[in-house]
Amino acid sequence: MLRYLREYRWADMREIRANNRAEQRRSEARMDGKLCVITGSTSGVGWEAAKALASHGATVVMVNRNKGKSERTCEALRTQFGAECSYHLADFADSAQVRAVADALVRSHDRVDVLVNNVGMHSTTLARTPAGPEVVFCVNHLASFILTWKLLDTMRRSAPARIIQVNSQGHRFGGLRLDDLGWQKRHYTGLRGYGASKTAQLLTVWEFADLLQDSGVTINAMHPGAVRSNIGSNNGPLYRWFKDTILSRTLKDPAIAGQAIHYLATAPELADTTGQYFNLTHPEKPAPHALDRAMGRLVWAESLRLAGLA
Ligand SMILES: NC(=O)c1ccc[n+]([C@@H]2O[C@H](COP(=O)([O-])OP(=O)(O)OC[C@H]3O[C@@H](n4cnc5c(N)ncnc54)[C@H](OP(=O)(O)O)[C@@H]3O)[C@@H](O)[C@H]2O)c1
């Protein structure tokens, strides 16, 4: 563990510490008539975001993988907030399913005001997709890349519109090597696999922001706080014991993540803010390796190729 913590790129530790302690910013803006697409809204951060947006009047369209959970969470939004809610299903480890669900979204909605790419996972064991890359990279980065790419025209037509990539301080673990996305050449660890996926996502946020310049569509990334959720529940008993008995004591109520996403989606003072990384609601400097624009262009090209979008 210590070995991996040493690899963590703290960048500006004072800024991170100050942001962790700072009071969060809030927005009271209503979202009536706004259509928000949220991925992974069956638990944790995504569920809190869905509640925060629905409680302010938004129509919620979920993209999840589990039909039963989607039915229940949509029904809860309808009952609790009188919100309109619908859902689409896709396994984000499978790029073909993500492309298909993105096409379905484009066909069924002529506007998308807010896109929250939230689906994410952390795996302590290495698994590869049939195409070669490691699964966490595909779920955390490639899927959000495909959805964002395919919804660009709809969002441009809906401008002003906002895209929020739920990223993580875990990007600071690094681990991204474009010549080894399948981890055939080095030892895989969960932290570095997670770091690689979140670094790739951040590097493409800056590229998307450039592409969307002057379009009225903004794109920002955020760390949703260290909050209680189901993340990691796919891992083994030792990991789950560590999370449930040790880590959980330090984790915060996930409602703060939902409120932060509502703030980033609506705050008037952020209308023109794009290409920014936030620690919850506070702007923060990402790790240096996540600011390497030359690398970002390579990740962009490789993501298009892997996603079958080139
Ligand atoms: N919790 C934290 O402290 C923390 C910190 C930093 C960043 N984050 C980020 O926050 C985001 C949300 O995580 P969380 O903590 O809220 O975790 P979570 O409770 O496990 O929620 C993850 C969501 O993603 C869905 N999902 C996972 N794998 C999927 C797949 N292959 N295809 C489709 N959907 C899938 C889950 O669906 P099911 O319900 O079907 O499993 C669930 O809806 C992630 O991007 C994570 O990296 C979380």
> What mean pLDDT is predicted for residues 125-148?
96
> What mean pLDDT is predicted for residues 207-220?
98
CA angle at residue 288 from 282 to 290, to 5 degrees? Answer: 75
> What mean pLDDT is predicted for residues 46-52?
98
Pocket of ligand 1 contains residue 144 by CB under 6 Å: no
Cα distance between residue 136 and residue 129, in whole Å = 9
CA of 43 to the centre of ligand 1 (A): 7
164: three-class secondary structure by DSSP: strand
In the chain, DSSP assigns E strands to 35-39, 59-64, 85-89, 114-117, 161-166, 217-223, 277-279, 282-283
Give the pLDDT confidence of 245-271 residue by residue, as tens digits. Answer: 999 899 999 999 999 999 999 999 999
Instruction: Indicate the pTM of the whole model.
Output: 0.96
Longest dimension (CA), the chain: 52
Distances (CA, A) of 50 to 16, 20, 262, 283: 27, 23, 9, 23
Nearest to 229 by CA among 15, 48, 30: 48
Ordered alpha helix ranges (H), 13-94? 13-21, 44-55, 67-81
What is the residue type of 167? N
Cα distance between residue 115 and residue 105, in whole Å = 11
Nearest to 124 by CA among 236, 199, 228: 236
DSSP structure class, residue 24: P
Q: Catalytic one among 87, 188, 194, 263?
A: 194
At 65, give phi and psi (nearest 5°).
Answer: -110, -15
8 A C-beta contact, residue 98 and residue 147: yes
CA of 166 to the centre of ligand 1 (A): 10
Q: What is the pLDDT of residue 13?
A: 84
Pocket of ligand 1 contains residue 63 by CB under 6 Å: no
> What mean pLDDT is predicted for residues 68-82?
98
Pocket of ligand 1 contains residue 232 by CB under 6 Å: no
Judge whether residue 272 has pLDDT over 70.
yes
Pocket of ligand 1 contains residue 190 by CB under 6 Å: no
Mean pLDDT over the full length of the chain: 95
Residue 43 pLDDT grade (very low, low, confident, very high; cuts 50, 70, 90): very high
| Ligand 1 atom with least separation from CA of 254 | 1
**Token couple for 142:** 């490639």
Judge whether residue 85 has pLDDT over 70.
yes
The pLDDT > 90 percentage for the chain reads: 93
Residue 310 pLDDT grade (very low, low, confident, very high; cuts 50, 70, 90): confident
Pocket of ligand 1 contains residue 135 by CB under 6 Å: no
Question: Going by CA atoms, what residue is nearest to atom 39 of ligand 1?
Answer: 42
Residue 12 pLDDT grade (very low, low, confident, very high; cuts 50, 70, 90): confident
8 A C-beta contact, residue 35 and residue 113: yes
**Token couple for 300:** 């962009």
Pocket of ligand 1 contains residue 229 by CB under 6 Å: yes
Give the pLDDT confidence of 162-204 residue by residue, as tens digits. Answer: 999 999 999 999 999 999 999 999 999 999 999 999 999 999 9
Give the pLDDT confidence of 228-238 residue by residue, as tens digits. Answer: 999 999 999 99
CA of 73 to the centre of ligand 1 (A): 15
Residue 10 pLDDT grade (very low, low, confident, very high; cuts 50, 70, 90): low
CA of 121 to the centre of ligand 1 (A): 5
Is 239 one of the annotated active-site residues of the chain?
no
